[in-house]
Amino acid sequence: MKSPLILASASPRRKELLERIGLDFSVIPSKIEEKKVSGETPVAYALRQATDKALEVSKRYPSRLVLGADTIVVLDREVFGKPYDHQTARRMLRRLNGREHTVITAFVLVFKEKELLVRHWVETQVKMKPLTEGRIERYLGTGEPFDKAGGYAIQGKGTLLVESIQGCYTNVMGLPLPT
């Protein structure tokens, strides 16, 4: 029997987090294109993205529970998604340098057959250490920033860039879990 839970994400971090708590699930990434709508607040954007991911997969698997999620970094009301090249990652890290920002993860559960839709989000405050250009370049050289919102991985080498965190650590990884 297949697990009733589907993770609608290709994120290895979300997969790892669900495995850590012993859940049985399938991974079936959504096929939606991530794009921001003009005038959308950061929370609305993250919720819409997570909802769209979960709904897209639930249409294909209506008799299974689908978890969709989206993580973003917000600084001065600007949303930082995943950097697509060194220049974008460098710009993000320079902007985050020595400053506090918000990590928002929205998550949505959909069970189409039962007409279930649950939406929620969690915010965590993260303060970055002051970063020299050399430190930023060395971090970029690790290749770690490129599939992470804001261009850093708190669970990897990016932890060395972080001064403090207020809130849920696993939220910054990509999925808030109860502690």
Catalytically active residues are 70
Distances from the Cα of 70 to the Cα of 27, 67, 136, 138, 140, angstroms = 15, 10, 25, 27, 23
- Neighbour tally for 72: CB within 10 Å: 23
**Do the strands 100-111 and 116-128 form a parallel or antiparallel pair, or are they unpaired?**
antiparallel
Which residues are paired to 26 by β-bridges?
6
Coil vs helix vs strand at 147: helix
161: nearest Cα among 119, 132, 121: 132
Using CA atoms of 13, 15, 19, 21 in order, give the dihedral in degrees to the nearest 10: 70
DSSP 2-63: --SEEE----HHHHHHHHHTT---EE----PPP-PPTT--HHHHHHHHHHHHHHHHHHH-TT
